[in-house]
Amino acid sequence: MKVLRAPFIVRGATHPAYHKEATAGRPIEPLPPPPILQVPMLQHLGAPSKPIVQKGDKVSVGQLIAEAGGPVSACAHSPVSGVVKAITEGISATGRPTPVIEIENDGQNTPANLLQSRPDWTSEQPSTLIGLVAAAGIVGMGGAGFPTHVKINPPPAKKIDTLIINGAECEPYLTADHRLMVEQPQTIWQGIRILRHILRGPRIRVAIEDNKPDAIRALTDAMKEADDEVAIVVLPTAYPMGAEKQLIYSILGREVPSGGLPSDVGALVENVATCAAVFDAVVHGRPLTHRVVTVSGSLVQRPANVLAPIGARFSDLIAFCGGLRATGGKLICGGPMMGVAHVDASTPVGKTVSGILALSRRELAFYETHPCIACGRCVRACPMALLPCTISIAVEAKQFDEAERLHVMDCIECGCCAYVCPAHRPMVQFMRQGKAQIQMVRRLKLQQQTSSPTALKP
């Protein structure tokens, strides 16, 4: 096992104030399951989960309550024992409407029959282990939420030679992954080994920013017996160093092509929390029902890293941390750069929620937006080498074809352009608007193609 410095320098990026000191040294604390939980059916990319329980059904801890809704989807499990009170409409962590299964906790913690486990996983076929990962409902826990069983089963033509483990956690305030690396390095390492076995032996690169020396030490010790194809790569502290394409370039010097996937360049990226969940599923037969969430911001009485059951409301976590000092600020799910603002705290925690921030007006920026002054700062800051200023003007003028020509679909919505813009233009909102419009047009064209009558052959 080796410890390396990142060999390649990524373009762009910014250096926002990190504000991690409030929780970086705080051990993970388990949240007692609240009386009511709402498990969302949309907490991953792809099709929503489909409920398989009904109002009045009794459920147990870890019981399957929703199955995958399609080839790219994930199942969901109950984090508590109790009774299904309703299946109703709610809001997902991304702000989208979603069905939720509301469960009344009976406080008994009655366990369901665990998933099939494979403690001696080294003798198992990759397909068997992929099935266990799918049955556990594991998704990418770094924020994207792509179903893990799909990601670790790439087409045979795409050979994965490098598995990159993302421990960068570059968003300000967030320390959930940091604490997991410090406190559970062996769990993460064993999960990495399982993923390596599934992918048939690629080299391993664990990426951690240099502002987390304790996490680097913990994983170095846990992995000390690993072979020479395993290395920890120490990244410079910069945002968005933890983005998938930036990790691949900084470690391998490979650029993912426009519209392509990491597998196109022989790489696969998984989050450290996802690795821990894979270990729990394969070795212990535990589905993904809990995750670590950073609760922070100046309005939080006692910032903490909380192990929360999926379906607990944001307000439950905030109350566990002593409540808020005052009202009138902003509630953000995720980090301040890529997170989503919520109007209230009734939103339930999903599998991709890494942070809940309550920020005061003093911490927030309220600006009047002005026309672009063509200074080029956003171009220099963009880690994807796009022209954010030009794209935003095209979207503002509803010239979506021009925005597509300028590769707006390659935008990763990191927020660097908006962060550096002296005119305070809502650049990320323009990018999202353009991408949404282009995707809608593509769907309509696809529907027209599939519904048109097939031409008769002569």
147 and 280 belong to one structural domain:
yes
In a domain, 338, yes or no: no
Do residue 240 and residue 381 come from a single domain? Answer: no
CATH number at residue 11: 3.40.50.11540
Q: What gap in Å lies between CA 251 and CA 321, rounded to an integer?
A: 38
Is 456 a domain residue?
Answer: no
If one counts the domains in the chain, the total is 2
Weakly modelled stretches of the chain, pLDDT under 50: 455-458
In-domain check, residue 207: yes
pLDDT confidence of residue 106: 97
* Model pTM score: 0.94
* Domain limits for position 161: 2-24+121-284
Residue at which a domain ends, from 256, 284, 312: 284
Residue 233 within any structural domain of the chain: yes
Per-residue tokens: 213: 């020396």
Cβ-count burial 289-320 (b if 16+ within 10 Å, e if not): bbbbbbbbbbbbeebbbbebbbbbbbbbbbeb
- Scanning the structure block, which residue is given the tokens 């320390």? 175
What pLDDT does residue 366 have?
65
- Domain match, 167 and 279 both: yes
Question: Are 125 and 258 in the same domain?
Answer: yes
Among the three residues 267, 284, 301, which one is the final residue of a domain in this structure?
284
Last residue of a domain, one of 284, 301, 329: 284
Q: Quickly count helices (H) and strands (E) in the chain.
A: 13, 18
**Is 126 contained in some domain?**
yes
Fill in the DSSP letter of residue 49: P
User: CA nearest 286: which of 107, 113, 139?
Assistant: 113
In a domain, 320, yes or no: no
Are 268 and 393 part of one and the same domain? no
Determine, yes or no, domain membership for 7: yes
Q: Distance from first CA to last CA of the chain, Å, rounded?
A: 65
